[in-house]
Structure 1
Amino acid sequence: MARKTALRDQLLTRRGRIGLPELGSLARSLAQVVTEVPEVRSAATVALYVSIGTEPGTGPLIDELDAAGKRILLPCLLPDNDLDWAAYDGDLVRAPRGLLEPSGERLGVSAVAGADVVLVPGLAVDDHGHRMGRGGGSYDRILARVPAGTLTCALLYPWEIGVPVPVEAHDRAVSAAASAEGMQRFS
Structure 2
Amino acid sequence: MAVMDNPTDISQAKRDLRASTRARRESVSPEQRAARDQMIQAHLVDYLRRHQAETKRETQTDSANAGRSDAPLTVTAFVPMDSEPGGRWLPDVLRAAGFRVILPRVAQKNLEWVPYTGDLERSSWGLMEPTDEKISQPLPEVVDVAIIPAIGLDSAGHRLGQGGGFYDRQLAQGNLNVTRLGIVDQWEFHTHVPHASHDLTVNTVITEHSVFEM
TM-score for both structures, normalised by structure 2? 0.79
Aligned partner of 1:86 in structure 2 is: 114
For 2:149 and 2:29, the matched residues in 1 are separated by 20
Compared CA separation, residues 19 and 108, structure 1 to 2 (3 A): farther
Look up the match of 1:61.
Answer: 90
Alignment RMSD: 1.9
In 1: Cα distance, 2:148 partner to 2:52 partner: 14
Q: Give percent identity, aligned residues only.
A: 30
Q: Identify if the C-alpha distance between structure 1 residues 13 and 108 changes in structure 2 by more than 3 Å, giving closer, same or farther.
A: farther
Number of residues paired by the alignment? 184
For residue 10 of structure 1, what is the aligned residue in structure 2?
20
Q: 1:167 to 1:22 in 2, by over 3 A?
A: same
- Counterparts of 1:112 and 1:83 in 2: how far apart (Å)? 14
Following the alignment from structure 2 to structure 1, what is the Cα–Cα distance between the partners of residues 79 and 141? 19
Q: TM-score, normalised by structure 1?
A: 0.90
Q: Comparing 41-50 with 107-116, which one deviates more in the overlay?
A: 107-116
Letter in 2 for 1:170: H
CA contact (8 A) 1:92 1:101 kept: yes
Runs of 4+ off more than 4 Å:
40-43
Paired amino acid for 2:77: L
Could you tell me which runs of 5 or more consecutive residues in structure 2 were left unpaired when the two chains were aligned.
Answer: 1-10, 56-71
Shift of 1:29: 0.8
The equivalences for 1:132-143 within 5 A come to 132-143=160-171
Preserved CA contact (<8 Å) 1:84 1:109? no
Tell whether 2:200 aligns with 1:172: yes
Paired with 2:39 and 2:196, the residues of 1 have a C-alpha distance of 32
Say if 2:155 is the partner of 1:127.
Answer: yes
- AA aligned to 2:205 is A
Letter in 2 for 1:62: P
Structure 1's 109 and 15: CA in aligned 2 closer, same or farther, altered over 3 A? farther
**Are 1:39 and 2:51 an aligned pair?**
yes
For structure 1, list consecutive stretches of 5 or more residues without a partner in the other structure. none
Shift of 1:122: 0.4
- Equivalent-residue separation in structure 1 for 2:123 and 2:79 (angstroms): 11
Contact kept? 2:151, 2:188, Cα under 8 Å: yes
SS in 2 for 1:128: coil
Matched ranges for 1:71-82 at <5 A: 71-80=100-109, 82=110
